[in-house]
Structure 1
Amino acid sequence: MEHIVIIGNGISGVTAARHIRKNSDKRITIVSTETAYFFSRTALMYIYMGHMKFEHTQPYENWFWKKNKIELKQGFVSEVDTKNKVLQFSNKETLSFDKLIIATGSKPNKFGWPGQDLDGVMGMYHKQDLQNLEKFAPNNKACNRAVIVGGGLIGIELAEMLRSRNIPVTFLVRESSFWNGVLPAQESEMINKHIKDHHIDLRLGTNLKEIKADDKGRVKSIVIEETGEEIPCNVVGLTAGVSPNIDFLKSSNIELGRGVKVNRFLETNIPDIFAIGDCAEQHEAIGRRRNIEAVWYTGRMMGETLAQTICGNKTAYKPGHWFNSAKFLDIEYQTYGWVFSEKGKAENEIYFQWQHPKDYKCITISFDKNSRKFIGINTFGIRMRHEIFDKWLTENQSIEHVLEHLADANFDPEFYKLHEGEIVAKFNKENNTNIQSKKKSWKRIFSKA
């Protein structure tokens, strides 16, 4: 019986295993060093905040794996012998395979800061990070201040977690505005203000120089690069991005870049060895996407796609239109298609922006100034329907069509105030057009579903 071994029990690896089992009777083994069973990594923050227990983050009961004949093995893979198709473990055990799927995810970036490995320094990616957070920051008595280094989505989540226990937070962001490599200036500045409104000490244009230790080897303070200011703290969160978790492959003959190099079929340069999820790096980016995408839903899609190939139906990875969602404290964020920061603007692409005068709500829509084709939208504080924007992007609809039917995409509850009329009126005024905003029509929304 062909033996499929999967290294990594995150969303990518587990999805691949489930879909291989649906379509075959192959032997499947999932190898993991982090936890015995799969859990939802994105839910870790809600455990610390008291909204969930760890068992609530496990989508499958413990008996699920045995019932579905998916073997689980805990251990750290130290080397992959591609010639003999054998995994070497750190405890000297071995495991042979016929096909290997590398789905080892990401690890937090570290940039060689003095003190970065002290007790009290952590990321917020693994279950062990959550355990460390409970150990070093159980409350505001044990932790008088936390410093977060890095202004991405994980950083803002960690800030929210710590503030939920009334722990003071200083947030070091090296950019001049929060996430301004991704968001247009108006949106980034709105998030800056929202962070400060939550009593978070946001330091823009600020870099970490070093982390200092007390006489017990625990964090006692950090020093800022630009000014030399020393900030006392008990916890340092390193959230300056992630990188593929592939160190154990560096002695193998698997082709590596920043991640494991793969083609459109998620194949490496070695026959019968594949890579999916955060650790996979496309030789050539798909459209405007990045070569490496550390996103939950793309990992799931890669797992589903590769399972088809493993089971004899060779299938290329086609992620479709870009979308993503996140939450900046109280502000929900969604993006569909492509809206870049000012630095990333492409030729002929222009933006239309609307912002609520008092509330934390805004949208940015990008479109081609010549063809009028809708390219993408960012929305903050207004929930929008994924399937509607996916359809409009597929149909290459115009900016005028999108604005005319924008109410159909609104997913806010029934009694929320709608702003489509204001949005369209602003566009008409700025562009000398006469678009009529149609009211929400459930018939239109679902007639072509």
Structure 2
Amino acid sequence: MENIVIIGNGIAGVSAARHIRKLSDKRIIIISAETDYFFSRTALMYVYMGHMKFEHIQPYENWFWEKNRIDLVRGYVTQVNHTEKKLLVDNSRTVAYDKLIIATGSKPNKFGWPGQDLHGVQGLYSKQDLDLLEVHAPNKEVCKRAVIVGGGLIGIELAEMLRSRDIPVTFLVREKSFWDGVLPQGESQMINEHILEHHIDLKLETNLVEIIADENGRAKAVTTDKGETIACNLVGLTAGVSPNIDFLKDSGIALGRGVKVNRFLETNIEDIYAIGDCAEQHEAIGSRRPIEAVWYTGRMMGETVAQTICGNKLEYKPGHWFNSAKFLDIEYQTYGWVFTARSKKESEAHFHWRHPQEKVCVTIAYHNETRQFLGINTFGIRMRHEIFDRWLTESRSVDHVMEFLKDANFDPEFYENYEKDIISKFNSDMGTTLAVKNKSWKRIFKTA
């Protein structure tokens, strides 16, 4: 019986295991040092905030694995020997494989800051990080103030978590505006305002210089490049993540920032594959980034590699980019590509509308000559993935998208509050005469 070994029990590795089992009777072994059972990483914050218990974020009951003949091994893989097709686990035991899937995910970035390894300094990625947070910041009596370093999605999640327990938070962001490497200026500015309204001390264009220890080796303060010293009991390092591949450096497997793979998720070594956050595409897939640390791409890669391993060699095709997140209580969605002022091409133009009172806005990117729709960002308005995916595939114009924007809205009745203003501004900016129309989104599918 062929032995399939998967390193990592996140969404990528578990998706691969589930689909291999659906397609075959191969022996499947998942090795992970993080937890006994798979859990939803994106829901960790809700455990800390008291909305859920940890067992609630485990999608499968504990009996699921034995019933589906998926063997679970708890431990660290410290060496991959591809010539003998063996793994060394915890430097003490070996596991043989016929085919190997590397799905080891990411780790929080560290940039050599003095004091970055002190007690009270941590990231927010793993179950162990969640457990540490309960030690370092169980309440505002133990944690008088926290400092978060890095202005991305993990940073805003950690800030929300700590504020849910009334812990004061200072947020150090090196950029001129929050997440302005991803968001256009108007959207980034709106999130700046929203962060401040939630009583988070946002310090833009500010870098961490040093984390200072007390007499017991715990973090007691940070210093910044503005000459400020901020007393704190917790330092959250959330300046992005990078592929978790250190254990592969002497393996012979080709590495870049991640494990280099082709369009079939194959590495340079026969019978070894890489998927999820740790995989780096070295063959461009349109405008997709070589490494995409996103939940749904990990799932898609797992499903794809399962087909290949079970005899149906399948190319990884992620389709049009999309993502969603929350900035405190503002929902964010993006479909296609909406580049920032720094990164957008000369041919790309933006239409931007923002509600004058509410934290609601829309940005639509389009080609300034052909008027082809390129992408959309929405804040506070929920949209339908399937419709935007179709419009991107059909290369629809920005005028078509605006005319039928209500059909793509997930809450069409609620959207009516904004539709007139959005269309009015679009007409004013573009010199068009689109009218507000009362259409049902179901028409899109009747004409498909």
Alignment of 1:8-407 (within 5 A): 8-224=8-224, 226-407=225-406
Looking at structure 2, the residues matched to 197 and 442 of structure 1 have their Cα atoms a distance apart, in angstroms, of: 35
> Once the 2 structures are TM-superposed, how far is the Cα of residue 413 of structure 1 from its aligned partner?
6.8
Contact 1:405–1:437 (Cα < 8 Å) also in 2: no
Deviations 1:272-325 (A, max 9, x none): 000000000000331111100000000000000000000000000000000000
Q: Secondary structure at the match of 1:343?
A: coil
Looking at structure 2, the residues matched to 416 and 161 of structure 1 have their Cα atoms a distance apart, in angstroms, of: 30
> Once the 2 structures are TM-superposed, how far is the Cα of residue 446 of structure 1 from its aligned partner?
3.7
Aligned residue pairs total 448
> Once the 2 structures are TM-superposed, how far is the Cα of residue 91 of structure 1 from its aligned partner?
3.7
Looking at structure 2, the residues matched to 70 and 53 of structure 1 have their Cα atoms a distance apart, in angstroms, of: 25
Deviations 1:345-402 (A, max 9, x none): 1131100000001110000000111111100000001111111101111111111110
Letter in 2 for 1:350: A
Letter in 1 for 2:336: G
Looking at structure 2, the residues matched to 64 and 37 of structure 1 have their Cα atoms a distance apart, in angstroms, of: 10
Deviations 1:199-252 (A, max 9, x none): 00000000001111111111111111x222110000000000000000000011
Q: TM-score, normalised by structure 2?
A: 0.98
The more displaced of 86-95 and 410-419 is: 410-419
Q: Secondary structure at the match of 2:363?
A: strand
Contact 2:406–2:415 (Cα < 8 Å) also in 1: no
Looking at structure 1, the residues matched to 172 and 202 of structure 2 have their Cα atoms a distance apart, in angstroms, of: 6
Contact 1:375–1:393 (Cα < 8 Å) also in 2: yes
> Once the 2 structures are TM-superposed, how far is the Cα of residue 447 of structure 1 from its aligned partner?
2.1
> Once the 2 structures are TM-superposed, how far is the Cα of residue 176 of structure 1 from its aligned partner?
0.7
**Tell me, which stretches of 5 or more residues in structure 1 are unaligned?**
none
Looking at structure 1, the residues matched to 156 and 236 of structure 2 have their Cα atoms a distance apart, in angstroms, of: 11
Contact 1:211–1:219 (Cα < 8 Å) also in 2: yes
> Once the 2 structures are TM-superposed, how far is the Cα of residue 429 of structure 1 from its aligned partner?
1.0
Q: Secondary structure at the match of 1:342?
A: coil
> Once the 2 structures are TM-superposed, how far is the Cα of residue 443 of structure 1 from its aligned partner?
2.9
Q: Secondary structure at the match of 1:80?
A: strand
Looking at structure 2, the residues matched to 297 and 443 of structure 1 have their Cα atoms a distance apart, in angstroms, of: 26
Deviations 1:158-195 (A, max 9, x none): 00000000000000000010000111001001100100
Q: Secondary structure at the match of 1:211?
A: strand
Q: Secondary structure at the match of 1:344?
A: coil
> Once the 2 structures are TM-superposed, how far is the Cα of residue 434 of structure 1 from its aligned partner?
1.1
Looking at structure 2, the residues matched to 65 and 448 of structure 1 have their Cα atoms a distance apart, in angstroms, of: 44
**Tell me, which stretches of 5 or more residues in structure 2 are unaligned?**
none
Contact 1:325–1:333 (Cα < 8 Å) also in 2: yes
| Same amino acid, percent of matched pairs | 72
Residue 412 of structure 1: aligned partner: 411
Q: Secondary structure at the match of 2:59?
A: coil
Q: TM-score, normalised by structure 1?
A: 0.98
